Amino acid sequence: MSPRRSYDQYCSAARALDLVGDRWTLLIVRELFAGPRRYTDLHADLPGVSTDVLASRLKDMERDGLTSRRRLPPPGPAYVYELTPRGRELLPVIQALGEWGQADLGERRPTDAVRAHWFALPLLRALEGEGLVEVRLEEGDFHLRVGAEEGPVYGDGPAPREADARLQLDAETCAAVAGGELRLLEAVRAGRVTVTGEGTLAKALREA
């Protein structure tokens, strides 16, 4: 656990960096926007983080009120980590970083890891309205809770219930939509996104 290395500046941005400026912290937050996750899941989706650093960050974040640790009910009792409301307020920070970093994303490098749900937040920016959206990529599936006010913003795997809309697309299209080079409606019109489902969101995308 870090002995609280602070910038010691009376500045709100510096204070924020005192809490989330350490290496890996904001990426752990990004992972937890997918909902409660176990230690091992986090370690698997954050290639390169060492076990002790991950454990240390999770303790720091809990102490600082960003996350909470909860015991899952049996069977399979395990601890899961999840964002507190305060932690979820970091969404604009991650969104702003993602929007800025989009310009440097470019092609995937051979050394780059990929997880399907890393496209969730960029895609979320491109969606209006409200509802449960399931997204299918070759790399895997995830679901978005568009317009959700509380709880997880997105999740790994298929939607837990019948989705209001289902999108099928490839990573390239996903990146283009996320980067603002292609609007989702235009991607649908160009046949690069297949939309199914009966929710208002699905209908709005199809009829445009």
Residues lying near DNA in the complex (CB under 7 A) are found at: 2-3, 5, 22-24, 38-41, 48-53, 55-56, 58, 69, 78-80
Task: Pick one of DNA, its own copies, none as the site partner of residue 130 (Cβ within 5 to 8 A by kind).
Answer: none
Q: Binding residue for its own copies (CB under 8 A) from 1, 72, 78, 105?
A: 105
Residues 185, 192: Cα–Cα separation, whole Å? 10
**Is the CA virtual torsion 5, 41, 133, 174 positive or negative?**
positive
* 154 binding its own copies? (CB under 8 A): no
Kindly tell me which of 12 and 51 has the beta carbon lying closer to DNA.
Answer: 51
Q: Binding residue for its own copies (CB under 8 A) from 56, 84, 102, 168?
A: 102
Task: Pick one of DNA, its own copies, none as the site partner of residue 208 (Cβ within 5 to 8 A by kind).
Answer: none
Task: Pick one of DNA, its own copies, none as the site partner of residue 129 (Cβ within 5 to 8 A by kind).
Answer: none
* Burial of 130 (C-beta count, 10 Å sphere; 0-12/13-18/19+): middle
Residues 88, 85: Cα–Cα separation, whole Å? 5
Q: Is the previous residue joined to 77 through a cis bond, with omega within 30 degrees of 0?
A: no
CA dist 176 → 45, 133, 182 (Å):
23, 19, 5
Kindly tell me which of 79 and 183 has the beta carbon lying closer to DNA.
Answer: 79
- For its own copies, the binding residues in 72-101 under the rule CB under 8 A are 86, 89-90, 92-101
* Burial of 71 (C-beta count, 10 Å sphere; 0-12/13-18/19+): exposed
* 27 binding its own copies? (CB under 8 A): yes
* 158 binding its own copies? (CB under 8 A): no
Q: Which one, of 146, 106, 107, 155, lies nearest residue 125 by Cα?
A: 146
Cβ of residue 168: shortest distance to its own copies, in angstroms? 20
Assign 136 to helix, strand or coil: strand
Query: What is the contact surface with its own copies in residues (CB under 8 A)?
Result: 6-19, 21, 23, 26-27, 30, 47-48, 86, 89-90, 92-105, 108-109, 111-115, 118, 121-122, 178-179
